[in-house]
Amino acid sequence: MQKSNDTNSIISALLEARESRWNTKLSLVKYGWHLVSLQLNVPGYPKSSECSEQFMRLIENEFERYLICRAIGKYKKEKKKAKDAAGEWIAFLVPEANMGAQELKDLTEAFEESHEYGRLIDLDVLDSKGKAISSGKAKRCFICDESAAFCRNSRTHTIEEVRKNMFHKMETYNELCYDAELVSSVSKYALKAMMYEVALSPKPGLVCRASQGCHTDMDYRTFMDSMVAISPFFQDIAQLAIEHKGNDLSNVLPDIREIGLLMEAAMTKATFGVNTHKGAIFLLAISVFAAIRVIKKKKGVFKSNLFSSVVQQITRGVIQRELCSLKESSSLSHGEVCFMKYGLQGAGARGEAEQGFPTVMHHALPFMKEHFNDQFNKLTDKELANQLIPLLLKIIANNNDTNVLFRHDKTILETLKQKATMAMEAFQRGETSIYTELVAWCNENKISPGGSADLLAISLFVHFCQTDTTVL
Ligand SMILES: [Zn+2]
């Protein structure tokens, strides 16, 4: 008895919703508008869920873009949204003077047919006189290939089967769109982090907007060319992270490195052989992969502790495998030579990654939390530089930079770290002269803390993941 009462109340709520929708539509078209209504035909009850609402938002945006581009100057961006017992529905309004109702119907038909998930949606057209415009074409069932009307009338599929199939498809599409957005966003953070790093001026010994630092073979434009060449590959790494199944990350580093090698080749080609970003490529490639894993796992939220742990999982054993077994040879990289000479202190980018970016986690991030204004876009260029310079100094003061160790020695590294600490403290008091002296000292003595510059980029990348991940 209770059940039939519930069923009756659902049926009456649905009937009421349908009548109210119809009246709303008629009241809208009387102003001289044709109306396209977008809805889902979900059988059974309830008619909507978080999943279906997200799906509707995606289709709504896609259909509106579609309409704007195919009815340029005719579609006036008028729409009304409503939600009732029959689900969510959206009315797009097109002035009758601008377009014929049949032309509008043809557009909606073409949209349904061209969209991979078009069978899940219904786009109905009502002309400005309140008359429903029919295409005369039979719509396909989205489970089998029969006509939708045939399956409905012959009850080929149970309501449960249809609902399950429909919600599964919507969920798949929602996730597909979410992943695409995630790939795009995280790749952009990587590029943005590199750009902010190199643009920061002046920097001690490093290439920046205003100077080549202590370098003679590269300048700001070399970095621009290199960033343009390597940035598309961040999307490939992000996609690799999206497609990685399971929780075991012990075997992903070779896959990341394969893309990393393509990036190095693109960099070398763009810079005519100058190494602008080798360290940054290694660190950012791992970071992009790790960030995607974290944001996916935490359903849109970036957690820096988890990020650090994922970086460790990806790079576990890399020092043992790649550095401990080295033998003296003329073909060793800078990082490898440093490790042979200084042990763990000279483990460089590999060491930093295998420990989950300790300089970033224990020094840069707490510093940023204490001193940074989160919204970079509200800062002027000068104000931003005033935040980033002390951050770079904090990193230099705490990092065993293998670029410095390789070109100089431990004494110079320690002197640089001390000078950076003093310059940072003075800079925060508003005294910039010690920083200016440090910049000159590095430029004159050809001291270029490139490893610290890379860690500044990683710190910025993490910052962007934390503050900009809003749409995800
Ligand atoms: Zn069917």
Distance (Å) from CA 143 to ligand 1 centroid: 5
pLDDT at 2: 57
**Fold adopted by 13-157:** Alpha-Beta Plaits (3.30.70)
The predicted-structure confidence for 48-62, as pLDDT tens digits, reads as follows 999 999 999 999 999
Distance (Å) from CA 121 to ligand 1 centroid: 15
Please report, for residues 298, 324, 357, 459, the alpha-carbon distance to residue 304 in angstroms, rounded to integers and kept in the order given: 11, 29, 10, 10
The predicted-structure confidence for 372-386, as pLDDT tens digits, reads as follows 876 888 899 999 999
pLDDT at 470: 58
Distance (Å) from CA 164 to ligand 1 centroid: 13
The predicted-structure confidence for 175-219, as pLDDT tens digits, reads as follows 999 999 999 999 999 999 999 999 999 999 999 998 999 999 999
Distance (Å) from CA 165 to ligand 1 centroid: 11
% of the chain with per-residue pLDDT over 70:
97
List, in sequence order, the alpha helices (H) in 244-380: 253-271, 278-297, 304-315, 318-322, 334-342, 348-354, 358, 365-371
Q: Residues 6 or more apart from 4 whose CB is under 8 A from it? A: none
What ranges do the domains of the chain cover? 13-157, 179-467
pLDDT at 376: 85
pLDDT at 334: 77
What are the backbone angles phi and psi of residue 213, rounded to the nearest 5°? 60, -130
Distance (Å) from CA 33 to ligand 1 centroid: 35
The predicted-structure confidence for 449-464, as pLDDT tens digits, reads as follows 999 999 999 999 999 9
- Output the pTM of the full model: 0.91
Query: What letter represents residue 399's amino acid?
Result: N
> Mean pLDDT for the chain?
92
Q: Is the pLDDT of residue 429 over 60?
A: yes
Distance (Å) from CA 207 to ligand 1 centroid: 64
Going by pLDDT thresholds of 50, 70 and 90, the confidence category of residue 472 is very low
What are the backbone angles phi and psi of residue 26, rounded to the nearest 5°? -65, -40
Distance (Å) from CA 146 to ligand 1 centroid: 5
How many other β-carbons are positioned within 10 Å of the β-carbon of residue 463? 25
